[in-house]
């Protein structure tokens, strides 16, 4: 069987061209802010790419870089961006390294002294704080679609929901594969396995696909015998971050394989898929690099445009 390879870079460039035209023709003036914490080189390169792509289509991008920051300071910055009329939307680049985030508050209520309060586990507190950080983002400025309120709207299939960038990129890749904008018709009844349960990708993607009438199985690190839940799927979406995790004997012939895994290797960036065993068995494959990654950046700016349109709908005319 011939395995077709999706060219995510070419597709993303086409989307950026459409965005540039729409921005120009309607005189939209969105502004994106990006908060990045820590010194992870790949994250900074990714943010620089987002800034570059934004400026190419006429969208100013302001980057707030912090090698280290207190949670109280971060909460203050989020509050300021929520109130700033110049900011159309903003994102907080993930991951946030634990060592770069000084947890001086617990849910922004009480100070924490780990030496005196041994009942508080630092790892648990870190994840509690991450959830608290995203809960403070104004849904009207949530360009990455990761605030608690925005995720809730996705789960409820609200017309006002804004899907986060990576799940949205997966849907864009499926539109290209099926050559349709009517994914509800294309995916109705399809068996789809997602190997990822994160708040950023797995959960919102599962909700979006359920809303499109697909039948969803979500697998993760605690799933017993993952092969059993992948080998019968029409579409397998893998985001484990484990190189060569998904092999040819784990999928059925003709399956569509979407790779959203990221692994750093001596040769560069690799995904989850063992290409040598999957190619020839899958009908479609999204590569890493050059697949979902470029589409995710494009989807961020599509989300930003949606926020700008929403803002324009109530902005007083002068």
Alpha-carbon gap, residue 288 to 282, rounded angstroms = 16
Q: What is the pLDDT of residue 125?
A: 80
Q: What global pTM score does this model have?
A: 0.91
Domain residue limits, the chain = 27-159, 165-292
Answer whether CATH 1.10.10.10 is correct for domain 165-292.
Answer: no
Query: In angstroms, rounded to a whole number, what is the distance separating the alpha carbons of residues 120 and 109?
Result: 14
The Cα–Cα gap between 145 and 125 comes to: 23
What does the pLDDT read at residue 295?
A: 98
Residue where the block lists tokens 């104004």 = 138
Average pLDDT, the chain: 92
In this prediction, residue 317 carries a pLDDT of 43
Neighbours of 222 (CB within 10 A): 6
Distance between CA atoms of 147 and 136, rounded to whole angstroms?
A: 7
| Side-chain half-sphere exposure of 40, counting CA atoms within 13 A | 16
Strand order in the sheet with 61-66: 61-66, 32-37, 89-92
The answer to whether the CB of 209 falls within 8 A of the CB of 217 is no
Output the pLDDT for position 110. 47
Answer whether 272's CB lies under 8 Å from 238's CB.
yes
For residue 303, is pLDDT > 90?
A: yes
Note the CATH architecture for domain 27-159: 3-Layer(aba) Sandwich (3.40)
């Amino acid at each position: 069987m011939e395995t077709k390879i999706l060219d995510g870079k070419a597709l993303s460039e086409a989307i950026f061209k459409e965005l540039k035209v729409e921005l120009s023709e309607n005189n939209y003036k969105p502004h994106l802010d990006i908060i990045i914490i820590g010194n992870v080189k790949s994250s900074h390169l990714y943010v620089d790419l987002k800034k570059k792509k934004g400026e190419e289509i006429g969208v100013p991008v302001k980057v707030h870089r912090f090698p280290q920051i207190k949670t109280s300071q971060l909460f203050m910055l989020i509050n300021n961006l929520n109130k700033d009329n110049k900011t159309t939307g903003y994102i907080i680049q993930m991951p946030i390294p634990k060592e770069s985030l000084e947890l001086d508050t617990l849910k922004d209520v009480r100070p924490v002294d780990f030496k005196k309060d041994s009942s508080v586990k630092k790892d648990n507190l870190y994840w509690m704080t991450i959830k608290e950080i995203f809960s403070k983002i104004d849904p009207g400025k949530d360009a990455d679609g990761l605030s608690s309120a925005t995720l809730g709207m996705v789960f409820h299939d609200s017309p006002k929901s804004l899907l986060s960038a990576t799940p949205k990129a997966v849907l864009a890749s499926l539109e290209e594969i099926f050559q349709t904008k009517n994914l509800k018709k294309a995916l109705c009844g399809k068996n789809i396995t997602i190997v990822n349960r994160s708040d950023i990708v797995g959960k919102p993607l599962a909700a979006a696909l359920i809303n499109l009438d697909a039948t969803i199985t979500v697998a993760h690190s605690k799933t017993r015998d993952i092969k059993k839940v992948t080998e019968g799927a029409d579409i397998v979406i893998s985001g484990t971050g484990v190189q060569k995790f998904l092999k040819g004997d784990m999928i059925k012939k003709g399956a569509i394989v979407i790779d959203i895994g990221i692994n750093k290797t001596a040769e560069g960036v690799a995904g989850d898929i063992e290409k040598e065993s999957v190619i020839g068995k899958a009908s479609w494959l999204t590569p890493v690099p050059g697949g979902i990654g470029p589409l995710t950046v494009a989807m961020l700016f599509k989300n930003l445009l949606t926020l700008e349109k929403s803002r324009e709908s109530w902005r007083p005319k002068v």
